Amino acid sequence: MAVDLIKERDNYDIAVVFSGDGDLAYIFDYIHSEFNREVYIFSARNHIGKELVDCKKRGVVKDILFAQDFEYRLNLRC
C-alpha cells in the first residue's frame, strides 16, 4: 500500500485508507510533506494505532472515521 501511495500520487489529491495500522504513519507523513496529499483514515474503533492518532494531532491525517459510527446507516431500510 505504501508503494502504491507514492507511485499513484499524481492520480489522487485525497487518500482514504481503510486501515488502522500504525505502521502506515511514516508513509502518511511522507506523502503529506512531500506531495501535499490529504489523508483520511477509516478504521474500527479500538483498532487504530497510536501513531495514526498522533498523525491526526499533527495535521498529517485530516480525520479518522470509525466503522461503528456508520453502522446505523447500513441498517436503514429504504
Q: What is the DSSP letter of 45?
A: T
Yes or no: say if 44 and 65 are a contact pair by the CB < 8 Å rule. Answer: no
CATH topology of domain 2-74: Rossmann fold (3.40.50)
Residue 4, CA distances (Å) to 21, 48, 75 in order: 16, 21, 33
| Strands (E) located in 1-78 | 14-17, 38-43, 61-66
How is the chain split into domains, by residue range?
2-74
Q: In the beta sheet, which residues pair with residue 14?
A: 38
Q: What is the pLDDT along the chain (78 residues), one digit of tens a residue?
A: 999 999 999 999 999 999 999 999 999 999 999 999 999 999 998 899 999 999 999 999 999 999 888 877 777 776
